[in-house]
Structures are given as C-alpha cells and as structure tokens.
Chain A
Amino acid sequence: EAQVTQNPRYLITVTGKKLTVTCSQNMNHEYMSWYRQDPGLGLRQIYYSMNVEVTDKGDVPEGYKVSRKEKRNFPLILESPSPNQTSLYFCASSFGGSDEQFFGPGTRLTVL
C-alpha cells in the first residue's frame, strides 16, 4: 500500500531533550516536506526536500533540522525542543513537480 508513515504518532518530552520524528514514504517520491499545524494558524511549512541531499527552508524553519540521505526518508530533528514547538506535525511527499502531496498521519508533539 502506497503510504507515508511517521513515528512516533504521539510524543511528550521535556524542554531541551533532543528528539527525531521519522518520516518514510514508499512511493519513490522525489519531493518531501514537513509541516506543523497549530490552532488558528493552519498548516505551515517547516522544511522541504527536492531530492536526496537537497533541502530548503519553508516558512518556519527556526529550531528544526532535516536531512535527506535516502530518497524514502526525511527525518525532522529538534535539537533543543521548546514549549512553542508543541504542535501537530505532518510529513508529506510527492513526485517532483507535482502539487499532489500525500500526507502522513501526523505526529502530536508536546514539549513541557
């Protein structure tokens, strides 16, 4: 089944404790992206990747890192999480040049 998977689905952590949210897709998509969703603010793009080893900032990249060492994986790294990064995170992927993105199920992160 074609899908985008994220892990973990739920995470409660404390300020400053490094964490990684994994994202994997099995559709051989070139494009991958991370979004955060907050009440009243909609979906905001954090980072995206056009292909392996090619990443760029979205609208809200501060406090996040990404890497794209393999085509199927695009982990989101929070080196020192803060409470303002408490949010619902979505990973998405698509074929290069297509606006039809496939979204993962989301990761609900709480930073205390």
Chain B
Amino acid sequence: LAKTTQPISMDSYEGQEVNITCSHNNIATNDYITWYQQFPSQGPRFIIQGYKTKVTNEVASLFIPADRKSSTLSLPRVSLSDTAVYYCLVGDRSSGTYKYIFGTGTRLKVLA
C-alpha cells in the first residue's frame, strides 16, 4: 500500500499560485494519484486525478514526473474560498482491492 507524505500546512495570499507536493515512493504500476479538497465539516471532494505527466481541469493542474514517486497539485490564483485541507491519495491496486489511505492532508490557508 503506497503511503503518501505531504506538508502539514501552507499559507498563501490571494491571487498567488499554490503548489502542494505529495511524496509516494512506493507507488505501484497500476496506481493512480488522486487529490481531494475538504472544507470544515464537509466530506472530501474530488479535484483531479492523473497517472503520469500533466493533467489539467477547470480547477487545478496535476504534475507527475516520470518516476511517479511524487506529484504536485497546482492551484492557480487562489482565493479565500480555496482555504481547505487537500489530500493526496494513491489507490491500492496491487492486490486487486480498493483500499485508500488519505493521510492527514495539507491545510492550506489563503490570506487576504
């Protein structure tokens, strides 16, 4: 099961680009990397998913290097409403099961 490591917290200012890096050294060949966002007292919400290189959607970009041992979630021009906890997740496909380890996430605080 690939464990992920993220910074505990980050601060940023409105309008800046924020990059949150996640380490997953033991990622398996079949595993995808998924990022979630969670606001206080709400369930996590899917943001983006990728396997390699770069993925972009209307909310964020995800950069994955060739060795796939890390990934970076990029949030362009953050606003106060982006203040949340962000989780990097690697699904366990190695045994054909679907266990997930969310970890403690990165608490992003956007300042005015």
Contacts and interface: CB of A to CB of B under 8 A. Distances in A.
Contacts of A50: 98
A109 B53 CA distance: 41
B59 to A, nearest CB: 13
Interface string B30-52: 00101000000111111001000
Contacts, number: 59
A35 B98 contact: no
Where chain B touches its partner, the secondary structure class is loop
Interface residues of A, number: 26
B80 interface: no
Contacts of A40: 104
Interface in A11-43: 31, 33, 35, 40-43
Interface of A: 4, 31, 33, 35, 40-45, 48, 50, 56, 58-59, 88, 90, 92, 99-106
17 contacts: A33-B100, A42-B87, A44-B102, A45-B99, A45-B102, A48-B98, A48-B100, A56-B99, A58-B100, A59-B99, A90-B43, A99-B49, A101-B46, A103-B43, A103-B44, A105-B43, A106-B42
